[in-house]
Structure 1
Amino acid sequence: MSIEQRNDACLIAVDREVGQVLRLQTLVVLEANHHHFEDVRGLGPDAQRALARIYRDAFSVLDAVGWDPADDAGAAAARRDVPLTAGHMDQLWRRRRELGFANLDRLDLDGPDVDLAALTADREAAQTLDRLQAEFALAVAPAARRA
C-alpha cells in the first residue's frame, strides 16, 4: 500500500446495468478496506496517501454512477462516464476473484440449500467486471504507448 505510482483516471462509459454492478462492488471495496483506518495514525505518510487514494478513487466512481440505485430508475438507456483508475481496477479485480471463489464455496449441488439466485447474481457481476476490465485495458493501452 505504500508504493507511489501514477494512477490517472480513464473515463469509461457505462450503462445502467454496469453502473449498478460497479456501485455495489465499489461499496464492497470500501468495506473491505475500512479496517486500515483503525490504525491510520500508525501508518507512514506513503501508506496514508495510498489508503486515501483507494477511497478517493472509489468515491469518484460512486459520484459518477450515483450513490442511490433509485436514481437509475428513469435512466434505463443512459450511459455515464465513470473515472476508473488502475488502482481501482485492481481493487475490482480482487472483488471479481472473490466473487468466483464465493460461488465455488457456496456451490453444494448435493445440499438442499443452494441459492441459485445468489449464484446467478454473483456470476453475472463477475462477468460484468470481466468485461469492464477488458474495456479498461483497451482504453489505457493507447495511452500507455503515448507515455
Structure 2
Amino acid sequence: MQTDRMTIGGAAEASGVSAKMIRHYEETGLIPAAIRTDAGYRTYSERDVHLLRFIRQGRVLGFSMKQITALIGLWLDQSRPSSKVKQLAREHLRELDTKISELQAMKSTLERLANNCHGDSRPACPILDGLAQGIMQEHGLIHQKNLNQGN
C-alpha cells in the first residue's frame, strides 16, 4: 500500500465519518469506489477524506443526500455560478423553516396536553387521550367537531 493512502479506519478517524457510512456512501455512489490493495482492503487519499468532511458538514447542516450530491457537483465544478449554490442553500432554509414551524406546533400541542394532565394516581390522562384522538382523526374515525368538544 502506498504511504500516502490510509485504511477505511484511518479515513473514518480523519474525516469524522464512520467506516459504515463511508461504505454506504461508496455503495450509493456518493463517493467514488475506494482503491483496493492486493489483499482487497479499501484505501483512501487525503482528497477522499476532504470529500468525506464536506459530506459530513452538509449532513451537520441538515442537507439531504440528494442536496449533498448536488452540492458536491457544484463544489467540483470550478465554472459554477455561485447563484446555484445560493439557490440550493435558500431552498434548504425554507425546508428548515417549515420543519421548525412543525416542531413548534408539536411542542405547543404536547405542552397543552401535559399541562392538562394531573399526573396523579388516577388513570385519566389527557396526553393519552390526545394521542388516541389524533390517531383516530387521521384515520377518519372521528370528526374535528368531536375533538373540539373534549377540550
Superposition TM-score, scaled by structure 1 size: 0.29
User: Which structure has more helix as a fraction of its residues?
Assistant: 1
Task: Specify the structure having the higher radius of gyration (Cα).
Answer: 2
